[in-house]
Structure 1
Amino acid sequence: MKAVVFDIGGVLIDWQPQLAWAEALGSEEAAHAFIERTGFREKNARADNGEQFADLARELEDPQDQNLFVDYVSLYARTVENAIQGTWDVLDRLKAQGTPVHAITNWSAETWPEGLKVHPRLGEVFGTLVVSGQEGVMKPDARIYHMLCDRAGVAPEDCVFIDDGLHNVEGAKSVGMDGIHFTTPKALDIALTERGFL
């Protein structure tokens, strides 16, 4: 049976990293400036690949920036408060009809447990779940797609992969999966219907 493989951040959960520091810095604008100043997105990607936020913080020169950066893990829940409900509705329809549903997410091993506190269903709804930070390999590396297939007992050719990052969709296609670039829940519904999933 064909399976559907979801990304999580930007597809099922809305991620707004500036909200971790907006209160401490006084505004979202100041938090965005902090993100730019500290190279947060590049460092966060390294955390998604297995590095620790405390180690990444030590690369910063300003002690206050270091402390704020380390606080990210404890403040993480603020960044993922909102689910993308329309996508959850699609996922629930797939599960209700018996379609195998799995996930591959680029997510830090440190922040993943914090995300589960906000959205516990993330730990329950997938047949197989691969979290990049726990594995030390991240999308679009071919190894992470093969890891999911091996653990789920499915062939890449029997999977359709959904991600808001086009580069990650291309990575999935490179190993033989079908791919859908996520833009909106409605567009996803149409794309899965066209493929005969819904």
Structure 2
Amino acid sequence: MKTAAAKNYSNLVFDLGAVLIDWNPRYLYNKIFATAAETEFFLTNVCTSAWNEEQDAGRSLQEATEMLVNEFPKFEAEIRAYYGRWKEMLGGPIQETVDILQELKEGNQYKLYALTNWSNETFPLALLIYPFLQWFDGIVVSGREKIRKPNPAFYNLLLDRYELDASATLFIDDNERNIRGAAACGIDGIHFTSATQLKAILEEKSILPISLFHS
């Protein structure tokens, strides 16, 4: 039972990458480059996070790839590997968080949604690889909508599409920037750092029952 002080939420919204799915381009590039320093140089200066985010916002993989090949021709093979070998960047599910999601799904007390910055061209692969993505009542993918977190319009799109009350919605994301974006739309957030931390907060908020034993 919820305590008197607990806020009543109806909707829980999950980020996917680094919360439920372990994605890291280093898994691929540590195979390609001889040293970690070379990997970091490449990801800092060539295939950067900012470049990748434009694909999350709807730019095509082909356009993004050719743009960098033209700019950094000596890294052509490594650039083409980014999407040519994209599945090698996936480290698998973050099982402890998936277990929390499963508990919430089986409890059937909350509507569950995902709000993800992800290329629309690679997301179909994730749908095939991770069965738990079928547990959500709705998923909004930035690459499909051509807008991404932390733009307020992206959060409002989720709210409008599924007719959600922002004040009854709780958002979970590993990026503080995205939590601030949600807050600007009236959505409470949890800055995810680990499944253990998330479980403790959800118990504190009476969203999950308090465990008798904590590992």
Q: 2:94 and 2:168 mapped to 1: Cα distance?
A: 26
CA deviations 1:12-62 (Å, max 9, x no partner) are 111211222333334544332221230521100111111123222333323
Q: 2:165 and 2:54 mapped to 1: Cα distance?
A: 29
The question of whether the paired residues in 2 share the 8 Å contact of 1:86 and 1:185 is answered with: yes
**So what's the TM-score if we normalise by structure 1?**
0.91
Higher alpha-carbon Rg: 2
Q: Counterpart in 2 of 1:101?
A: 112
Q: Counterpart in 1 of 2:167?
A: 157
Q: 2:168 and 2:17 mapped to 1: Cα distance?
A: 23
AA of the residue aligned to 1:118: I
Task: Determine if the alignment matches structure 1 residue 35 to structure 2 residue 46.
Answer: no
Q: 1:32 and 1:120 mapped to 2: Cα distance?
A: 32
Structure 1 stretches of 4+ with a deviation exceeding 3 A read 26-29
Q: When the two structures are aligned, how many residues end up with a matched partner?
A: 197
The question of whether the paired residues in 1 share the 8 Å contact of 2:47 and 2:79 is answered with: no
The question of whether the paired residues in 1 share the 8 Å contact of 2:56 and 2:118 is answered with: yes
Q: 2:155 and 2:45 mapped to 1: Cα distance?
A: 33
Q: Provide the identity percentage.
A: 34
Q: How does 1:41-190 map to 2 (within 5 A)?
A: 41-60=49-68, 61-98=71-108, 99-122=110-133, 124-190=134-200
Stretches of structure 2 lacking an aligned partner (at least 5 in a row): 1-8, 209-215
Alignment partner of 1:50: what SS? coil
Q: Counterpart in 2 of 1:4?
A: 12
Q: 2:29 and 2:181 mapped to 1: Cα distance?
A: 32
CA RMSD between the two structures: 1.8
**So what's the TM-score if we normalise by structure 2?**
0.84
The question of whether the paired residues in 2 share the 8 Å contact of 1:19 and 1:28 is answered with: no
Q: 2:188 and 2:149 mapped to 1: Cα distance?
A: 15
Give the Å deviation of 1:173: 1.1
Give the Å deviation of 1:153: 2.2
Give the Å deviation of 1:172: 0.7
